[in-house]
Chains A and B, each alone.
Chain A
């Protein structure tokens, strides 16, 4: 059974995670002005259709707003943390050109992304046991080949402290 809607691939996690653009920390708001009809606005409207979900997925703390049919020319506007504003003209451009341009001016570069990923890997040691939020495993009983959880399957008598103390008491 196929997915509903046109280009339903936009609604898959794999597509969202493949987003290129990760904004720098100073970018707070992104605004896209485009027109619904008109050829000049085609690039901007396809940018909104295809690339905005990817951008929002990769940058959950950036506010993205769309404005339709406000001005005759399509453009993008970014509001940075210092109060600076960046205006990007999108008239007559293709959606790939727009996204590459945006990545070039306001996106984190490949090296920065790789360095951040390394830092995250170093920070989280997979050998640690702890809460699911921070570590992979919580208890040794979850590992295959180790003693299973006594909550599910009772331990053999040799390992039970209660039984051992009882035997000691009866012997002596």
Chain B
């Protein structure tokens, strides 16, 4: 909503800023391009009713979102928030959060990493105390070797 105020005393126009630059305040979409600096191209799909078939189909629209830290990669699912004023000719939204990072989807119910219908188990067993386990294994090997040498003459 834009309106102008004419200040008669100083004879200057005071333009008020638009309250929201776009109709949609919050949007969820998929990132399709990151080739622009600090900007992500996001495709948003909404369900639109076909009047004759009475069936809902996805209708695409691309939005440009401001991404100051360049965190997005192509394929991320992203939540955008409308900017209070239009930042550039086409950029009307900014990145609020990355909902599902491509290749690293985290299940919101459990908090674990997930791939499709399986849980991705992180490799914790091999990573715990690598140095400690190696020295322990060496000691075990030494013990077994000496025990064999001791046993051999007795066998023969």
Contacts and interface: CB of A to CB of B under 8 A. Distances in A.
A63 B28 contact: yes
B53 interface: yes
A72 B54 contact: no
A135 to B, nearest CB: 24
Contact of B107 (A28, A67, A72): A72
B1 interface: no
A12 B52 CA distance: 10
Contact of B54 (A12, A37, A64, A87): A12
A83 B96 CA distance: 9
Given A72-B107, A72-B117, A73-B109, A67 B24 contact: no
Given A57-B49, A73-B109, A87-B109, A65 B28 contact: yes
B57 to A, nearest CB: 11
B86 interface: no
Contacts of A31: 28, 99
Interface stretch (B39-47, B66-74, B129-137, B139-147): B39-47
A116 interface: no
A72 B77 contact: no
A75 B44 CA distance: 20
A16 B109 contact: no
Given A28-B26, A65-B28, A67-B77, A11 B53 contact: yes
A14 B110 CA distance: 40
Nearest to B118: A72
B98 interface: no
A16 B114 contact: no
B138 to A, nearest CB: 41
Interface string B93-107: 000100110000101
B152 interface: no
A142 interface: no
Interface of B: 24-28, 44-47, 49, 53-56, 77, 79, 81, 96, 99-100, 105, 107-110, 114, 116-119
